[in-house]
């Protein structure tokens, strides 16, 4: 599959890189198929989650352990079935990275969205976004990171 991304150019998407989020993502419920990849040439610290339905929609994601953060998430039976999880070991958790524009129009610091991690079963290539209602953490990366 080929997609023309305004941010990343022409992308050849291998079927093994396609993830399905049956419920979509918060605010983007209509987008359910994404490709997960990283830029070639170095050990990946960040991955790109590119929508296959909307070429303009892409998110940077990373392992929350990069921020010293570890999740213990209790999934409902419905969530476990949606992910097709046979074992907790099949689940991987990543967080989206956001960059809010600063008041002067420049880019502000990169922030990790710890309130709504993505849980992915890499084997089944299925994911969901788990939104916490009472998590009050904010992690900011300095520009030197």
Give tens-digit pLDDT for 27-49: 999 999 999 988 776 667 889 99
CATH T-level fold of 2-141: BH3618-like (2.30.290)
Q: Find out whether 87 and 43 touch, Cβ atoms under 8 Å.
A: no
Mean pLDDT of 92-110: 81
Residue 25 DSSP class: B
Q: Is the pTM of this model over 0.85?
A: no
Express each pLDDT in 42-90 by its tens digit: 667 889 999 999 999 999 999 999 888 888 888 999 999 999 999 989 9
25 vs 16: which has the higher pLDDT: 25
Gap between the Cα atoms of 19 and 128, Å rounded:
10
Structural domain spans, the chain: 2-141
pLDDT at 145 over 50: no
138 vs 126: which has the higher pLDDT: 126
């Amino acid at each position: 599959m080929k997609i023309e991304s305004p941010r990343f150019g022409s992308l050849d998407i291998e079927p093994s890189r396609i993830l399905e989020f049956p419920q979509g993502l918060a605010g983007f419920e209509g987008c359910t198929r994404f490709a997960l990849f990283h830029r070639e040439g170095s050990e990946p610290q960040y991955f790109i989650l590119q929508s296959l339905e909307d070429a303009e929609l892409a998110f940077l994601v990373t392992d929350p352990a990069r921020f010293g953060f570890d999740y213990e998430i209790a999934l409902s039976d419905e969530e476990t079935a949606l992910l097709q999880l046979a074992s907790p070991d099949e689940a991987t958790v990543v967080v989206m990275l956001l960059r809010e524009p600063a008041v002067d129009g420049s880019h502000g610091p990169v922030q990790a969205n710890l309130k709504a991690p993505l849980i992915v079963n890499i084997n089944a290539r299925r994911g969901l976004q788990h939104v916490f209602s009472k998590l009050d953490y904010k992690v900011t990366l300095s520009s030197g990171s």
